[in-house]
Amino acid sequence: MADISLRKVAKSYGKTSVVEALDLDIHSGEFIVVLGPSGCGKSTLLRMIAGLEEISGGEIAIEDRVVDRLEPRERGCAMVFQNYALYPHMTVADNIGYSLKVAGVPKAERRARIEKVAATLALDTLLDRRPAQLSGGQRQRVAMGRAMIREPKVFLFDEPLSNLDAKLRVQMRIEIRKLHNRLAATSIFVTHDQVEAMTLADRIVVMNAGKVEQVGTPLDLWNRPASRFVAGFVGSPPMNLVEATIAADGAGVLADGTRIDLPEHRLARDAAVIVGVRAEDVRIGPAVNDPRLVLGVEFIERLGSASLVHGRLAGADFVVTAPPALAEGAPEGLALTLPVDRLHLFDAVDGRRIETDASSVEALPIAFETVAAPAL
Amino acid sequence: MIERTPILNTITHVVLFVGFLASITPFVVVAIAASHDLVAVNLVPMPMLPGGHFWENLHTAWTTADLGPKLVNSFIFAGGVAAGKVLISAITAFAIVFFRFPGRQAIFWAIFITLMLPLEVRIVPTYAVAADVFEPYRTILDVTGLNGLIESIAGVRLDLKFGLLNSYAGLILPLVATATGTFLYRQFFLTIPDELVEAAKMDGAGPIRFFVDVLLPLSRNNVAALATIMFLWAWNQYLWPLLVTTEPSHATAVTELKQLIPNVGGIPEWNIAMAGTLIVMTPTLVVVVAMQRWFVRGLISTEK
């Protein structure tokens, strides 16, 4: 359990800047997910915290102790690698216990701790096997065990689930979150998968091109994306983004001249904006006052629970979530309504969010009764 | 892949068989010659069926050339060279692959260039150094005048002498450094994923720990391959042992074979010479047979 604070942390290779003056405070026991596309510097950030990568500027402190010049082993971090990085010639038990062996922990104690960790991860029957004899999920658990046995203050995960198949990934995701709830160590998890980020994180750090775009809870990111990049990165399918200019009366005019109503804003006439709306917020059917908003349907993805209608709206790609029944007869055009209170506005130049009166709208709270959980 | 190429199969088998015959025939001839008596072995042509004097010839060869102690010498020599080469190659390759230091590339190429300087080319300077290990240093001291300085200050003249002639160290040390071995290890170490190195760092293992606990166990096939090749190479060395050992006490089996080879005008005891040859090559055959499985694996890249 440890606070981590990053102050103006930067990394550059020669003239290429990978991470730029990054500030971040991570609270003790928090599960932070660093989310971003490949090459955004998120792995570099993690490796700088681990001490595998030197920092080019700034300061990293773990538990108020500046660790910039400390070796990885002195920082109290444990790391789970993308390809697990298990020692191929050692048994599962030796892999898990190697850090204790290096630290000179006596054999009997080592054995006891290995068995305890193995039991937590359901590896107890596999202790004598070699990594080559394990399945992907089992290797993943060994890598976790190797990190856990040191009882670290900080867990670092470098895309640990990306080599697993879809089903196992979901399962391991749940396991990791359960483990975090139980151990309550500070965790930093790097991924490019926004579903992983949304499901695991207490807070998500969205990175793009070496900079932090937004730090917030998963629902913050969902409800109030701070930039066009976050809006387009978080969510599946990603938020629809359509260019528009502001008319004299404050309405938006799309590229093809269609007018749409926008939430209350303070933008000048002719200002260029980007209107964002999530696929599931779009209503199918013409609006009372504006029947001209028509989606040119290109193809339909049938997911079973819903259908995603892909098409073009005023020259931009656009996706709408439709009821599964729509899958049967595919129309060529689909009249749409964009609900005013569900629209997000972004500056067309720098991509930052423009606050509107709709910005305060959160997901509607649903009243539910609290019921005691049945005994398991 | 399924292939149906009966004609090609036949041809490849014929080629293989011809190659096999070509390589086995000299051994067969040696073995047959070693089983004849003096008269039979000198008949022209030599009878191609084994004679009945095999054990007797072996015994004569063994006692004449005093092969017992010589074989022991050979084992120490070849074993020492093989072990030294494995160790030095692994350590040099470790330094070159896993550490970033100035001149790293230059050092690698310097090692690599020594491939062009086999023992035969540098035999004279190597011998000079082996005969008097401190000679280069003494020359430096003399030329720079440092020796006179030391003499005037300390009142004694530095006269370091340490020769390696007629010693195991003299046999082994000049042969242990090898670019081939360093190169073999370098190629293997380059296949070790960076993540494994980093995992060891996170586990708190320093460089030496990593080398001993992770790299050496992973490279055991390489060790086997290199050790086998170098053992055979050293066992068959002739020129260097001949130069550096002047006393029979440190001579190796291969150099002592010449004791058995008949002089011009002497008794043509080729049967005894062949019997001695058989004895001397038996250990190498045993090593090859015993190590073959590991050694092939070590040369054909990594195991999965």
Is residue B300 in some structural domain? no
Confirm whether A277 is domain-assigned.
yes
**Domain end among B237, B254, B271:** B254
- Do B171 and B202 lie in a common domain? yes
pLDDT digits (tens, 9 = 90+) for A196-248: 898 889 999 999 988 899 999 998 888 889 999 999 888 888 899 998 888 88
Asked if residues A302 and A324 have their Cβ atoms less than 8 Å apart, the reply is yes
Q: The sheet that has A211-216: what strands, in order across it?
A: A77-80, A154-158, A186-191, A31-35, A203-208, A211-216
Closest CA–CA distance from residue B228 to any residue of chain A (Å): 22
Interface-testing mutation among A47, A70, A89, A162, with chain B (most B C-beta atoms within 10 A): A89
User: Is A87's CB within 8 Å of B205's CB?
Assistant: no
What average pLDDT does range B261-283 have in this prediction? 81
Q: Which of A45-54, A59-68, B10-19, B269-278 shows the highest mean pLDDT?
A: B10-19
User: Can you tell me the mean pLDDT for A27-33?
Assistant: 91
Among B120, B228, B252, residue whose Cα is nearest residue B174: B120
Any CB–CB contact under 8 A between A71 and chain B?
A: yes
CB A344 within 8 A of CB A353: yes
Same structural domain for residues A52 and A149?
yes
pLDDT at B284 over 80: yes
Are B198 and B53 contained in the same domain? no
Contact assessment for residue B241 and residue B255, using Cβ atoms and an 8 Å cutoff: yes
| Contact between chains at B199 and A79 (C-beta distance less than 8 A) | yes
Q: Are residues B180 and B32 in the same domain?
A: no
pLDDT in tens, B202-241: 888 888 999 999 998 888 888 888 888 888 888 888 888 8
Contact: A98, B195; criterion CB under 8 Å: no
User: What pLDDT was estimated at residue B125?
Assistant: 84
CATH of the domain at A147: 3.40.50.300
Q: Is A234 left (phi over 0), alpha (psi -120 to 50) or beta?
A: beta
Task: Name the residue of chain A whose CA is nearest to B302's CA.
Answer: A88
Least confident among A62-71, A150-159, A279-288? A279-288
Q: What is the mean pLDDT of residues B168-172?
A: 82
Task: Tell me what pLDDT residue B80 has.
Answer: 92
Q: How far is B207 from chain A (nearest CA, A)?
A: 12
Average pLDDT of chain A is 85
Q: What share of chain B in percent tops pLDDT 90?
A: 8
Pair (A151, A273) in one structural domain: no
Element (H, E) at A57: strand A57-62
Q: Which residues of B touch A (CB under 8 A)?
A: 193, 195-196, 198-205, 209, 213-214, 217-218, 304
Dihedral (Cα; A23, A28, A31, A34), 10-degree rounding = 20
User: Which chain A residue shows the shortest CA-CA distance from B220?
Assistant: A89
Would B296 be classed as within a structural domain? no
Do B79 and B219 lie in one domain? The reply is yes
CA–CA separation, B50 vs B122, rounded Å? 44
Residue to test with chain B: of A99, A105, A155, most B Cβ within 10 A? A99
- Closest partner residue to A73 among B193, B201, B218, by Cβ? B201
Is A11 a member of any domain? yes
Summarize pLDDT for A128-152 with one digit per residue, the tens: 889 888 888 888 889 988 988 888 8
Looking at the fold, whether A60 and A104 belong to one and the same domain comes out as yes
Q: Provide mean pLDDT across the span A265-271.
A: 82
* Same structural domain, B31 and B169: no
- Percent of chain A past pLDDT 90, that is, above it, reads 14
- Measure in Å the smallest separation between the Cα of A132 and chain B Cα atoms: 8
Same domain, A194 and A242: no
Q: Is the pLDDT of residue B248 over 90?
A: no
Is 60 exceeded by the pLDDT of residue A289? no
Give bridge partners of residue B161 from the DSSP assignment: none
B14 and B41 both lie in a single domain: yes
Asked whether the predicted pLDDT for residue A359 surpasses 60, the reply is no
A73 vs B218: CB contact, 8 Å cut-off? no
Mean per-residue pLDDT of chain B = 83
In a domain, A373, yes or no: no
Whether B233 is in a domain gets the answer yes
Min Cα separation A59/chain B (Å): 20
Clarify whether residues A75 and A192 are in a common domain.
yes
pLDDT at position B22 over 90: yes
What range defines the domain where residue A246 resides?
237-355
CB contact under 8 A, A79 and B213: no
Average pLDDT over residues B145-165: 70
Asked if the structure places residue B301 within a domain, the reply is no
Query: Could you report the predicted ipTM of this complex, rounded to two decimals?
Result: 0.78
Q: Is the pLDDT of residue B13 over 90?
A: yes
Q: Tell me if chain B has a CB within 8 Å of the CB of A81.
A: yes
**Alpha helices, DSSP H, located in chain A:** 42-50, 92-103, 107-120, 136-148, 166-183, 194-200, 218-223, 228-233
pLDDT at B292: 81
Q: Are residues A168 and A276 in the same domain?
A: no
The dihedral through the CA atoms of B290, B292, B298, B303 has a sign that is negative
Kindly determine whether residue B217 and residue A89, on different chains, have CB atoms separated by under 8 Å.
yes
Maximum C-alpha span of chain B: 87
In a domain, A21, yes or no: yes
Strand order in the sheet with A57-62: A16-26, A4-13, A57-62, A65-66
Domain CATH code at residue B241: 1.10.3720.10
Say if residues B117 and B274 touch (Cβ distance below 8 Å). no
Q: Are residues B132 and B188 in the same domain?
A: yes
- pLDDT, one tens digit per residue, over A307-352 is 888 988 888 889 988 887 765 666 677 888 888 888 888 988 888 8
Instruction: State phi, psi for A215 to the nearest 5 degrees.
Output: -120, 125
Quick one: B29 and B124 in the same domain? no
Å between B76 CA and nearest CA of chain A: 31
Environment class of A299 (CB within 10 Å of its CB; exposed 0-12, middle 13-18, buried 19+)? exposed
- Is the pLDDT at B303 greater than 50? The verdict is no
Same structural domain, A157 and A256: no
Specify if B298 maps to a domain: no
Residues in B touching A51 (Cβ below 8 Å): 201
Please tell me the total count of domains within chain A.
2
> Do A14 and A124 have their domain in common?
yes
Q: Would you say residue B159 has pLDDT above 70?
A: no
Check whether residue A183 and residue A148 sit in a common domain: yes
> Coil, strand, or helix at residue A322?
strand
Mean pLDDT lowest for which of B83-92, B186-195, B246-255? B246-255
Assess if residue B297 is contained within a domain. no
B28 and B136 together in one domain: no
CB within 8 Å: A89 and B214 = yes
Judge if B47 and B180 occupy the same domain. Answer: no
Q: For residue A154, tell me if it sits in a domain.
A: yes
User: Do A157 and A18 belong together in one domain?
Assistant: yes
> Distance (Å) from the C-alpha of residue B262 to the closest C-alpha of chain A?
54
| Cβ B244 vs Cβ B165: under 8 Å | yes
Whole-number pLDDT of residue B304: 41
More confident residue, A324 or A194: A194
Would an 8 Å CB–CB cutoff place A139 in contact with chain B?
no
A179 and A273 inside one domain? no
The answer to whether position A131 is within a domain reads yes
**Same structural domain for residues B102 and B34?**
no
A257: tokens are: 């001249």
Q: Which of A66-80, A93-107, A146-160, B263-277 has the lowest mean pLDDT?
A: B263-277
Percent of chain B surpassing pLDDT 70: 94
**Residue B14 domain flag:** yes
| Per-residue pLDDT, B299 | 67
Q: For residues A247 and A129, state if they share a domain.
A: no
Structural domain of residue B12, as residue ranges?
A: 1-64+260-283
Domain count, chain B: 2
Q: Model confidence at A182, in pLDDT bands (50, 70, 90)?
A: confident
Question: In terms of domains, do B135 and B235 share one?
Answer: yes
Backbone angles phi, psi at A305, to 5 degrees: -75, -25
Question: Is residue B125 in a domain?
Answer: yes
